[in-house]
Chain A
């Protein structure tokens, strides 16, 4: 996540103190990614060093000053570039869940179906909690709704992946002849309903 660009975006609305920026960031993300004041302060120091923000008066470079920060023209240009650039998800690197299932299908004696179900139940429980929180968000709190919807769709995607793991495991456990039949059936039987 780009804290740098989040600070630039918040400062594009109005000049803000370090403390206010931290508060506004938490509000805009429904406290999904809380920042401590040190992280905000360090980010602002770097932005100041790179000429993207200055103190409102344009003279004071003391980073501990309570005077508000504002964007420079350079900062505004950097922000515009960010708005116009699509965000591509970074490669997730070592994902414990994926590694766990990859190992589970290799190691003899692991109850993969049971493992899938326990994971599914835990994620569905999380889905209940996030959905409940989403229901309680005020209609006009668009930022919070977007953040919680993102959680919901992310959990849903992982639950669908679990369905796919389960199907793949079930298919792999069939005798070869049946496995071939299952794999070709959806295309060879017109009108078959699949869920």
Chain B
């Protein structure tokens, strides 16, 4: 999908846009000569607030590369990645780290919670890194834990939680503060089917409340919770589900 709807370029390389995330002709290559590998080729993708997009594809198709680029963990060889209008490649390493901390939340397959901290401390941690007072960060963390139905876990450490509970806390951490972009890498990979469905319900709910969610998964059943699915193969976006005939019909009837 091609990005569109941009306005004028403002100061500091920030573009007024209706998209939370835009990948505009993004290519990422590694190595040279015989070791040259195209991990992602000319990818166009745009997510609006409240949009939930799933990415599917076989191993080595570029799913993780796409997610890393979207989150500013990697930079494209050519093309642009814009998070809330900011071109990540045009930023300094420090500014990119600030964008990652303030605008992007990550959910990983293995949760990545800090083992020595309680759930509330884990969720409050990115806010404290951003200069919030410990008290204010904790209050905000408790509010987000409550939103994701995990307030009873506030004082538990990760080792005292089930996989589903830990992922719930990880989602709270990904969403705490002003962040509106949630990147999820196989978030159900370490969970049983029923718990996986609960996590998808939660991600769907967050999207319905305005977050943009980009999720990599290899489970078609879980991808179906998204608004659309993008298929990758050999680093290229080869297809996407787009709106269904039924959705189009409903939209036409509503207009």
Give the contacting residue for A131; candidates B56, B224, B231, B233; CB below 8 A.
B224
Give min CB distance, A3 to chain B, whole Å: 28
Please tell me if the beta carbons of B239 and A121 are within 8 angstroms of each other in the complex.
Answer: yes
Please tell me if the beta carbons of B239 and A125 are within 8 angstroms of each other in the complex.
Answer: no
What does the 1/0 interface line of A137-160 toward B look like (CB < 8 Å)? 000000000000000110110010
- Residue B110 interfacial (CB < 8 Å): no
What does the 1/0 interface line of B233-251 toward A look like (CB < 8 Å)? 1000011111010110000
Please tell me if the beta carbons of A127 and B220 are within 8 angstroms of each other in the complex.
Answer: yes
Please tell me if the beta carbons of B220 and A121 are within 8 angstroms of each other in the complex.
Answer: no
Question: How many A residues, CB 8 Å from partner?
Answer: 21
Give the distance in Å from the alpha carbon of A155 to the alpha carbon of B59 in the complex.
Answer: 22
- Residue B229 interfacial (CB < 8 Å): yes
* Residues from chain A with Cβ under 8 Å of B246 in the complex: 129
State whether A152 and B229 are in contact (beta carbons under 8 Å apart), knowing that A125-B241, A128-B241 are contacts in the complex. no
Give the distance in Å from the alpha carbon of A120 to the alpha carbon of B218 in the complex.
Answer: 13
- Residue B223 interfacial (CB < 8 Å): yes
- Residue B228 interfacial (CB < 8 Å): yes
Most chain A CB within a 10 A radius of its CB, from B59, B220, B240, B241:
B220
Please tell me if the beta carbons of B238 and A117 are within 8 angstroms of each other in the complex.
Answer: yes
State whether A156 and B242 are in contact (beta carbons under 8 Å apart), knowing that A121-B231, A195-B59 are contacts in the complex. no
* Residues from chain B with Cβ under 8 Å of A159 in the complex: 220
Give the contacting residue for A128; candidates B56, B58, B59, B244; CB below 8 A.
B244
Please tell me if the beta carbons of A124 and B223 are within 8 angstroms of each other in the complex.
Answer: yes
- Residue A130 interfacial (CB < 8 Å): yes
- 5 residue pairs of the A-B complex, CB under 8 angstroms, read A117-B233, A117-B238, A121-B239, A125-B244, A129-B246
Q: Which residues of A contact B (CB under 8 A)?
A: 117-118, 120-121, 123-131, 135, 152-153, 155-156, 159, 163, 195
Given contacts A128-B227, A195-B58, 15 further A-B contacts (CB under 8 A): A117-B231, A118-B239, A120-B239, A121-B231, A121-B239, A121-B241, A124-B56, A125-B242, A127-B220, A127-B224, A128-B241, A131-B225, A135-B204, A135-B225, A155-B220
Q: Which 3 A-B pairs have the closest CB atoms?
A: A131-B224, A127-B224, A125-B241
